[in-house]
Chain A
Amino acid sequence: MFLKKIFLFNFFTLTLFASSIEPIPVNLEYNYDKAILGKKLFFDKRLSKDNSISCASCHDLTKGGDDGLKFSVGIDGKLGDINAPTVLNSVFNFRQFWDGRAKDLAEQAKGPIENPIEMGHDFSKLLKVLKASSYEKSFKAIYEDGITKENLVDAIAEFEKTLITPNSAFDKYLRGDENAISTFEKEGFELFKNKGCISCHNGVNIGGNLYSKFGMLIDVDSKNLGKYNVTKNELDKYYFKVPTLRNISLTAPYFHDGRYNDLKEAVKTMALVQLGRPVTDLEIEKIVAFLKTLNGELKIIE
């Protein structure tokens, strides 16, 4: 009996705070000139060694901000070993990359440019190429020291700041529009809270604000060791940044290794290996219906 009371106390605590998903702000402050320059760079294939890959190649803004592939393809057809995370709403993430090795968007932007299996370039060579182009003038107009590595990633990061997706049906519901989502979707949200998904997926990005062990209760055979790759600390093995659930229905395949194409499979696996709770098919349907309400509107600056 007392166990039940304690459970109810905890349950109440969780439910009370479970409203801790916040809508995406309609606008974020950013520097327009830098963002426009960053946009140009984001779509520029000259950022890769053989002029074949741009940031947008792996982060297709029309398809959820990723490439829809299990692993991305870099220069010379080289295959990566990790699923490209969405760039949309990445400004809200506490760290960047699955293993959280970059502290912010600017630091993240440095990674792929010099990664030999992604863009494979060399900053010193890239800067020379850009200095000999019309970029020289554009950079000088914004940055005193013109084209530098730091200014280049700063501009890209500024553009990425603008890639937010406000006004999803669920955000409208959070702002008080009771009819923005259906009863079925509301039931999905209740399940999302009551099954415990919200413990990790909370905040404005519904994730992206902590690390969690992939396969908390059941081993999931991950080849990638996550945060351990950065820290070499045994305690960090299989810890990954919890991904955002914003626009999740557009960003298949799922997980860091892109093992599932079906969102239902992903939900089922998470419930089992992270929460230890089997879920029925109907419950999965409801949770997926709720997740689909998280797709927002993307306005690309002009």
Chain B
Amino acid sequence: MKKLFKTFEMKLVLFTFFIGSLFIYLYHIENSIKNYSLYKKGINDLKFINLYLDNFLEKQDKFVNFDEIVKNTKEFNRIIDDILSSEIKTEFSHIVYIELAEAHGLFSEKLEYIERYKSLQASNLSSIYFIYDLNQYFNKSKLSNEDKVLINQTLFILMQSFININDNKKLLAKNLEGIHK
């Protein structure tokens, strides 16, 4: 047996086995690092997209091409789906996976909110013209000057509220009551 281990062939086999194992180990490490970079990039991208979407939700008075929003929401979904369906659970930890799954759930809620916001924003922007037409109509009507001023003031408050200058809901409600009377 001793003789066998001493043979050159046996040494070669052992050496090859050692090198092979080392190679597999390093390959595994390399892959993990590569995946780590991918996950890290993916999660960073998610953060950026989220910031972009938050920014959009603050632009009440700006006309926005919704294609950009769609592109970003789809990209968010794609990235998070990719990460969740990867080996992240086994390669890193259950905790990271669970946190991402929670983020996914929260994003679904946010997406619903974004869709509703898009619809409202579009109709709000369209209403600018409607309010202008309405004001013109009342100005030309045979209403008393007092009523005309009240309507004009009410529409003015609406516009102010729309562009975030002044959100005076109480006065708006009071004026609307006055107009109704």
Contact = CB atoms under 8 A, between A and B. Distances in A.
Given A3-B135, A7-B128, A10-B159, A210 B122 contact: yes
A194 interface: yes
Nearest to A203: B67
Contacts of B33: none
B66 A202 contact: yes
Interface string A109-153: 000000000000000000000000000000000000000000000
Contacts of B144: none
Interface stretch (B19-27, B84-92, B113-121, B172-180): B113-121
In this complex, the member of B126, B130, B131 whose beta carbon has the largest number of chain A beta carbons within 10 angstroms is B126
Contacts of A92: 67
B126 A3 contact: no
B135 A20 contact: no
Interface in B17-58: none
Contacts of A235: 116
B127 to A, nearest CB: 8
B118 A211 contact: yes
Given A13-B63, A17-B62, A199-B63, A6 B163 contact: yes
A200 B130 CA distance: 15
Interface residues of B, number: 34
B67 A196 contact: no
Given A10-B61, A275-B130, A200 B122 contact: yes
Given A3-B159, A216-B123, A235-B116, A277 B66 contact: no
Contact of B133 (A9, A213, A277): A277
B16 interface: no
Interface in B149-168: 152, 155-156, 159-160, 162-163, 165
A239 B117 CA distance: 13
A3 B156 contact: yes
A245 B166 CA distance: 37
A199 B127 CA distance: 10
Contact of B61 (A13, A198, A204): A13
Contact of B160 (A6, A22, A94, A275): A6
Interface in A1-55: 2-3, 6-7, 9-11, 13-14, 16-18, 20, 22
A80 interface: no
A261 interface: no
B96 interface: no
A239 B119 contact: yes
A183 B127 CA distance: 27
A161 to B, nearest CB: 14
A275 B65 contact: no
B125 interface: yes
Nearest to B70: A94
A134 to B, nearest CB: 33
Nearest to A100: B115
Given A20-B63, A198-B63, 17 more contacts: A2-B156, A6-B159, A7-B131, A17-B63, A17-B64, A196-B126, A200-B126, A209-B66, A209-B118, A210-B118, A210-B122, A211-B115, A211-B118, A211-B119, A212-B123, A213-B119, A276-B130
12 contacts: A9-B163, A10-B125, A13-B62, A14-B128, A22-B65, A196-B125, A199-B126, A200-B122, A200-B126, A202-B67, A203-B70, A209-B66
